[in-house]
Amino acid sequence: MDPAHPPAQHLPYPAAPPIYEGPPQPRRTGFGRVAGAAAIWAAPVWFVLTAIALIVSPDPAYAIGGVFGLVVFPYLVTSLVVWLICRTSRPHFLLLVLITLAAQLVLLFMAGAGRMVGHS
């Protein structure tokens, strides 16, 4: 090696400047995720009420139609209300399931109270 000419040392390339992409987009909760959480509570209710309707009712087709309306309407309303509340945040799925349980219980109690007032 010649001391007058040391070997060339390679310098690293400079890093590219950071690209500004704007503020981070918030994570949103989709309606399907909320509907899935509500379905966890609606499915057992549907099964139990359908079994009772098939055993007790003299006309099972009419009873199953009534059960369908009794379960599907609160399910859709619960899904919509919880989605409107949680759409801008992204809660953990278990928390979403617990929120839908509370919303369905409130809705079912309100429906039951409305029926009791109507029959008195």
DSSP 65-120: HHHHHHHHHHHHHHHHHHHHHHTTS---HHHHHHHHHHHHHHHHHHHHHHHHHHH-
Length of the chain counted residue by residue: 120
pTM over 0.85: no
**Cβ(97)–Cβ(82) below 8 Å:** no
Whether the per-residue pLDDT at 120 is higher than 60: the answer is no
**Per-domain residue ranges of the chain:** 31-119
Q: Are 96 and 37 in contact (CB under 8 A)?
A: yes
Tokens standing for residue 90? 């992204």
Residue 65 confidence (pLDDT): 78
Average pLDDT, the chain: 81
* pLDDT tens for each residue of 54-111: 888 788 777 777 777 778 888 899 999 999 999 988 899 999 999 999 998 888 787 7
Burial of 32 (0-12, 13-18, 19+ CB in 10 A): exposed
What confidence tens digit (pLDDT) does each residue in 32-46 have? 999 999 999 888 888
